[in-house]
Amino acid sequence: MLKVAIVGPGLVGGALLEQLVAHAKSPRFASLPISVAGLINSKKMAVTTTSFSEADLKNWKTAVLGSTAAPADLGSFVEQLAALKGPVAVVDCTASDSVASQYPSWLSKGLHIVTPNKKAFSNDYALYHKIKELSSSPKGPSVYHEATVGAGLPVLSTLNDLVRTGDKIVKIEGIFSGTLSYLFNNFSVPGAASKFSECVSVAKASGYTEPDPRDDLNGMDVARKVTILGRAAGLDIGTDTLPVENIVPEALRSVDTADEFMNRLPEFDGHFKELNDQALASGSVLRYVGMVDVQGGQSSVKLARYALDHPFASLKGSDNIIAFTTERFPNPLIIQGAGAGDAVTAFGIFSDLIRITERFGSHL
């Protein structure tokens, strides 16, 4: 039985718990036994030596992390997990730098790690290298982070398969942000009449953007994903060395609030209209794209033009699309689909938990 403990069970963690509860009642459970043995949020924590019941997990906010639960102490939580019998996977559902920095300590205690948290794999290269070193043994512990790029899309697993089978990666190019995908799929398309600020407003109202849309428009989320893919492909790159185009107008980068940013963004509609008109006049559209240029050394994150017959130009909604150009796939291998959302991100995490269960099945 693989025991799972979730750090930061918010929306994604809650969706994962729903999927694990359903799994426990399915025929698949017999060959892939996974239970939940720990939960911790910013205030409360709970660890059990067995597993939480279906009733507890369906009402985890009150039944497991209610008023009678112990005060949150991540260090104590991890020590209790390390003392449990059998394999334990810690699922970090936070976006915290400080939590990610503790991965080497968790691995040294024999704990597996599964996470959608991009920080450990895109921040300091020394931390990334230490995590890879501590998880390199075939006997474990292991680290899986499929959901850091493309949520539940099989992006990292595909890249790892290409690398492990000896294929030579030429480049990886993609639209990695659901927010920026939605914006430019609606703004930069023949016949569209909406102004850029209007598209941002609709995206914000629909929940596609961060509370402050500048956190999407500055390109750093895409840069983290490009860094993760680049490192997985063997490059020594980081967000500090990667050229990243920040499309937030310079005059609005330092305004105090998101509301002020949104109120003033229409002042720059002319700038975005000019860029779009130029693209459309050349038979192209604008797309915000990240590129891992393995052979050419020109990895980047930027707003670029794509011809109308290019797969990136025909993307709809907020989908992600990633194209792998390799020696074996000179016509790119393309992965496309929803790259954000609680259920699909939880699916990506769940898939990694299954990989651990299968990989260490003889030890379960």
The yes-or-no answer on residue 225 being catalytic is: yes
Sign of CA dihedral 223, 229, 230, 232: positive
Catalytically annotated residue among 3, 171, 204, 225: 225
Q: What are the helix and strand counts (H, E) for the chain?
A: 16, 12
| Strands 300-307 and 319-326, bridge-based pairing | unpaired
Can you tell me the distance from the alpha carbon of 90 to that of 159, in angstroms, rounded to the nearest whole number?
Answer: 24
Q: Are 44 and 65 in contact (CB under 8 A)?
A: yes
Is residue 9 reached through a cis peptide bond, with omega within 30 degrees of 0 on the bond before it?
no
Phi and psi dihedrals of 134, rounded to 5? Answer: -75, -15
CA 135/CA 157 separation, integer angstroms: 16
Find tokens 């898939």 and name the residue: 351
SS3 199: helix
Three-class DSSP category at 239: coil
The catalytic residue positions are 225
